[in-house]
Chain A
């Protein structure tokens, strides 16, 4: 089991421990952490009695094992900032405060999707997918603020519109490169997985700049463009397509497991490991919640209807099992609570044009980007900060 480095802070002087990173097993839970604190306190102060502690990890209560918690907020373990891709053929890295840190330029066409892969110390790995049918893997050193293209993943016959990173990226890197619209064969869409088998091999290859990689696996089955992909589990992935279906695939064998059929084009899909629901946004203004475990595959659990345009982005809150965020072509970002499905919690009407993407940060910030060339961040509290463009 992997180890994690952790520091413990508290505002209560009575229970303060040394500001030193501790190496903690990833599988440890709240009780284990509490025992560690108690032992430290007892070592400093013999009269210390056993006390039950709660832990906030980056502002979020720890409720499960650390590994699970990290997994659910995988970005939090690797993300040093906010990464955006743009139609100006570049990707940018922003600090959470809204400062542009780095511009990643290299694509020959618009960047459609970006993702953090992992972070090793000061070095971060990030992926960008573009209309030019490639996915680039970049290495960014935050200290020197330099970015290097490491790999170029080819294999798509069309533009790459979505990508998703294996949640177990900390162990072995797996990048998924699905693409969106069709090119050659409209009847049979291709969805491809490129996965360097292990890190050493990848490292060898990273020595050559811009090494081209080919797909590890192609998931074929969609009859039209795939609009969104994600890893719903370590060995299961989920894709939403324009052919009105959401398909679940086995990552090991590449076989299709379940098909959820809707009536409209799916623009986006999101999975929450907390409530184990899929949320999909489609062109008919509705956000639909699905249970991916049902075999019949056409059961809609809930419909969230408030948008007046296509729902282009939907994202579950990483730390809250009922909250999700959606962006739409009607320029509005909405925060939903699935317990009140009639109306959204908040309408975040900051954008002046279409909203194309939304996301959450590990610290509870909500992000949205749109056609007005702006990236907005929102705090969960009603107050709102403009991150600038």
Chain B
């Protein structure tokens, strides 16, 4: 605050002015004093140096002393005191809300007031004082006795003077003759001893006034020196948020405040340009920032700090090197040392094939061992091994092998299926190659190598009819059409159509009529097969038609409608292997121009115009209407022996001579859906049950295996295949077991025929 500084400035000269008389008086005194006192004063000086405040205080104390002692400056003092009083008065008057600085204002006022008062009473005295003042002391500089300035006074320690006065004369140190005793006595006797302070600049002693002591105390306590200064005055805010009616200044508005600033324009255009150029991006919105923040997440936030990390858990230590053995010793036992031949053999071996990479050698002492030449190489190899070979822990799962087997229903729950042998049909003398059941299930037809075809009654196992056909019967087939009573028999190169004369007379009659009503066509083309009508002896035996083929017929099979009949003449690399005959028109045709391999068996699709041809390794499915091959089933077996088509037509089973049974799902794949290897020997015959979900396979090991095979209407569900029963009964003769198998059309009964010349019924 400027006012206070003014005051300080005032105070100091006053003090300086007030000191002078006193010092003069004291110097006179001090000169008279003993050197002991001087010493004591010196000590005090030293003390004062420690307390620089005191120095000021002492200077201030001069003020008080001057007030009291010297009247010369009383006028000023009075005015000062007056001013103080006025201050108090003013405070008592309490002009609140004055916007004027109290200190500055007050000081100005005091000066003015003091002048006014002086005018009244003390004018004369003051005027006198003023004259005196100029006589005695006219300026602040006069107060300065010592001109050395504000220097550490110890610099003059070794000199007899302590500085120079205005005239350049030495100011001599006061003679300090005060000894300890004097000092002590002074201490005891002088009541002002405690307030006596030595003046460094002059070396004199000063007795502080009460005011000065008070001031020292207050300064020591950290308070303001001026008693009357209120440090907690309310502040007046000149510039505040309140809008005032009148402007603070009366200055008119500048012109430039109305003119758009060119500098600002330049700055703005610069910013606009920067924004346009993309140097400055607009500040992103909160959502964008949040989105940006969401792009990152704490990867390890959910990780349990205590958990063992996977890579630590799965740590696989490096495989250890083999420890060196005896052969690597510098002095190996003699049995480890290689002989000359062995060494040569070792050297001739490829390094990769050697058993040991090291050739054992013997040295007389360790000192004679040379450095190992392959050391670095082997280290390097080891390091390569360690970091090139991935190490991983093989998790060995403990699985009960039985759990891996899919849960199949128990055979007990899949009843009914044939379980026991019920009837044996005896009568044939040769091995029976083929059997067939009538569509009604009442009769059974069998063809044997003894040259006969026999008709049996199923329930009583009685042979009702025996037909001599004059040759080993390869295949028999009962016409599946229940309205036609006809049987096809393959004997040698012929296919015979027999009328069994069993069952309904009307049917037999109609069949006979059908056969006899044939009108031979007028134009006769080149015939592959000769159709001849049986007469005489043959006719009485039941033979109605004879189809003479160029080669031996292996198999005959009927279409489900009963009009078409297919015969197989297996012969490698012949295009004439399969023939299709139409009975009603007595016509034969060869559906295939080229041979695709040795045909094993053929079958008609039960519902659609498809034709299955099984060659040695595959089954071809032909569309008879489009006359093209639709599918080729690969039977993963070496030699297919037999084939059966599911009554729904979507599944095929194939038996093969390498003991396998392949189930094909035509909707699924051309590969077998399932391979069954239950038989020990070649599979000879396979059959589906027409109505029950059963199929069976007959094998040379004398057994028939019955399997449950449910086909679901749902295309997504694969067939369920469960082997349910092994039926034994046939005896193996000449390494041939069961040759054919077929099911009863309505009951879960199974017929099998074998090389032991019997037919067996399993129920």
Interface of A with B (CB < 8 Å)?
A: 87, 110, 132-133, 157-159, 180-184, 186, 224-225, 242, 263-265, 267, 283-284, 309-310, 329, 354, 356, 371
Beyond A158-B442, A242-B747, A371-B462, whether A186 also contacts B505 by CB under 8 A is: no
Across the A-B interface, give the 3 residue pairs with the lowest CB-CB distance, nearest first. Answer: A183-B504, A181-B442, A157-B504
Beyond A110-B464, A371-B460, A371-B462, whether A159 also contacts B442 by CB under 8 A is: yes
In contact, A265 and B422 (Cβ under 8 angstroms): no
Known contacts A184-B504, A224-B746, A309-B422, then 9 further A-B pairs from the complex at CB < 8 Å, ordered by chain A residue? A132-B505, A159-B503, A183-B503, A184-B507, A186-B439, A225-B440, A267-B459, A310-B763, A354-B460
Beyond A158-B503, A181-B440, whether A329 also contacts B482 by CB under 8 A is: no
In contact, A182 and B507 (Cβ under 8 angstroms): no
B2 to chain A, nearest CB (A): 128
B98 to chain A, nearest CB (A): 123
Per-residue A-contact encoding for B481-492, CB less than 8 Å = 1, 0 else = 011000000000
Cβ-based interface call for B416 (8 A) = yes
- Which residue of chain A is the closest to B504 with respect to CB atoms? A183
Docked complex Cα distance between A133 and B461 (Å): 20
Measured between beta carbons, the chain B residues less than 8 angstroms from A371 are 460-462
B138 to chain A, nearest CB (A): 152
Docked complex Cα distance between A159 and B507 (Å): 13
Interface of B with A (CB < 8 Å)?
A: 415-416, 422-423, 439-442, 459-462, 464, 482-483, 503-507, 746-747, 763
Docked complex Cα distance between A133 and B442 (Å): 14
Docked complex Cα distance between A183 and B507 (Å): 9
- Which residue of chain B is the closest to A133 with respect to CB atoms? B505
Looking at A158, A180, A264, the one whose CB has the most chain B CB atoms below 10 A away is A158
Docked complex Cα distance between A356 and B462 (Å): 12
- Which residue of chain A is the closest to B745 with respect to CB atoms? A186
Measured between beta carbons, the chain A residues less than 8 angstroms from B747 are 242, 265
Pick from A186, A283, A310: contact of B746, CB under 8 Å: A186
Docked complex Cα distance between A157 and B416 (Å): 29
Measured between beta carbons, the chain A residues less than 8 angstroms from B416 are 263-264
Pick from B442, B459, B464: contact of A182, CB under 8 Å: B442
A240 to chain B, nearest CB (A): 13
Beyond A132-B505, A183-B503, whether A87 also contacts B442 by CB under 8 A is: no
In contact, A186 and B422 (Cβ under 8 angstroms): no
- Which residue of chain A is the closest to B415 with respect to CB atoms? A263
Chain A to chain B contacts (Cβ below 8 Å), 13 pairs: A110-B462, A110-B464, A157-B504, A159-B442, A183-B503, A183-B504, A184-B506, A186-B482, A225-B442, A242-B747, A263-B416, A283-B763, A329-B422
Looking at B441, B482, B504, the one whose CB has the most chain A CB atoms below 10 A away is B504
- Which residue of chain B is the closest to A227 with respect to CB atoms? B459
Label chain A's interface by main secondary structure.
loop
B432 to chain A, nearest CB (A): 20
Pick from B462, B507, B763: contact of A87, CB under 8 Å: B462
Looking at A110, A224, A265, A371, the one whose CB has the most chain B CB atoms below 10 A away is A265
- Which residue of chain B is the closest to A112 with respect to CB atoms? B460
Docked complex Cα distance between A159 and B457 (Å): 11
Measured between beta carbons, the chain B residues less than 8 angstroms from A87 are 460, 462
A137 to chain B, nearest CB (A): 19
Measured between beta carbons, the chain A residues less than 8 angstroms from B507 are 183-184
In contact, B441 and A181 (Cβ under 8 angstroms): yes
B587 to chain A, nearest CB (A): 28
Pick from A132, A184, A242, A263: contact of B483, CB under 8 Å: A184
Measured between beta carbons, the chain A residues less than 8 angstroms from B422 are 283, 309-310, 329
A319 to chain B, nearest CB (A): 30
Measured between beta carbons, the chain A residues less than 8 angstroms from B503 are 158-159, 183
Beyond A157-B506, A158-B503, whether A186 also contacts B462 by CB under 8 A is: no
Pick from A186, A284, A354: contact of B440, CB under 8 Å: A186
B759 to chain A, nearest CB (A): 15
Measured between beta carbons, the chain B residues less than 8 angstroms from A180 are 442
- Which residue of chain B is the closest to A181 with respect to CB atoms? B442
Docked complex Cα distance between A283 and B423 (Å): 11
Docked complex Cα distance between A265 and B416 (Å): 11
Measured between beta carbons, the chain A residues less than 8 angstroms from B483 are 184
Docked complex Cα distance between A242 and B746 (Å): 9
Beyond A242-B747, A265-B747, whether A329 also contacts B442 by CB under 8 A is: no
Docked complex Cα distance between A159 and B459 (Å): 13
Docked complex Cα distance between A248 and B15 (Å): 153
Measured between beta carbons, the chain A residues less than 8 angstroms from B415 are 263
B666 to chain A, nearest CB (A): 28
Docked complex Cα distance between A158 and B439 (Å): 13
Looking at A183, A224, A309, A371, the one whose CB has the most chain B CB atoms below 10 A away is A183
A110 to chain B, nearest CB (A): 7
Docked complex Cα distance between A224 and B423 (Å): 20
- Which residue of chain A is the closest to B442 with respect to CB atoms? A181
Docked complex Cα distance between A159 and B442 (Å): 10
- Which residue of chain B is the closest to A158 with respect to CB atoms? B504
Measured between beta carbons, the chain B residues less than 8 angstroms from A242 are 746-747
B761 to chain A, nearest CB (A): 10
Beyond A157-B506, A183-B504, whether A329 also contacts B440 by CB under 8 A is: no
Docked complex Cα distance between A174 and B459 (Å): 28
- Which residue of chain B is the closest to A184 with respect to CB atoms? B504
In contact, B423 and A329 (Cβ under 8 angstroms): yes
Measured between beta carbons, the chain B residues less than 8 angstroms from A310 are 422-423, 763
A382 to chain B, nearest CB (A): 30
Measured between beta carbons, the chain B residues less than 8 angstroms from A159 are 442, 503
Docked complex Cα distance between A110 and B461 (Å): 13
Measured between beta carbons, the chain B residues less than 8 angstroms from A133 are 504-505
- Which residue of chain B is the closest to A310 with respect to CB atoms? B422
Docked complex Cα distance between A283 and B746 (Å): 14
Measured between beta carbons, the chain B residues less than 8 angstroms from A158 are 440, 442, 503-504
Measured between beta carbons, the chain A residues less than 8 angstroms from B459 are 267
- Which residue of chain A is the closest to B458 with respect to CB atoms? A181
Measured between beta carbons, the chain A residues less than 8 angstroms from B440 are 158, 181-183, 186, 225
B61 to chain A, nearest CB (A): 138
Docked complex Cα distance between A182 and B504 (Å): 9
Measured between beta carbons, the chain A residues less than 8 angstroms from B763 are 283-284, 310
Measured between beta carbons, the chain B residues less than 8 angstroms from A157 are 504, 506
Docked complex Cα distance between A225 and B443 (Å): 13
- Which residue of chain A is the closest to B439 with respect to CB atoms? A186
Docked complex Cα distance between A186 and B763 (Å): 20
- Which residue of chain A is the closest to B419 with respect to CB atoms? A284
- Which residue of chain A is the closest to B506 with respect to CB atoms? A157
A326 to chain B, nearest CB (A): 16
Looking at B415, B461, B506, B763, the one whose CB has the most chain A CB atoms below 10 A away is B763
Docked complex Cα distance between A265 and B744 (Å): 13
In contact, B460 and A356 (Cβ under 8 angstroms): yes
Docked complex Cα distance between A383 and B503 (Å): 42
Docked complex Cα distance between A356 and B482 (Å): 28
B508 to chain A, nearest CB (A): 10
B742 to chain A, nearest CB (A): 17
Docked complex Cα distance between A309 and B442 (Å): 19
Docked complex Cα distance between A275 and B351 (Å): 99
Docked complex Cα distance between A366 and B503 (Å): 33
Docked complex Cα distance between A180 and B442 (Å): 9
A302 to chain B, nearest CB (A): 22
Looking at A157, A181, A184, the one whose CB has the most chain B CB atoms below 10 A away is A181
Measured between beta carbons, the chain B residues less than 8 angstroms from A354 are 460-461
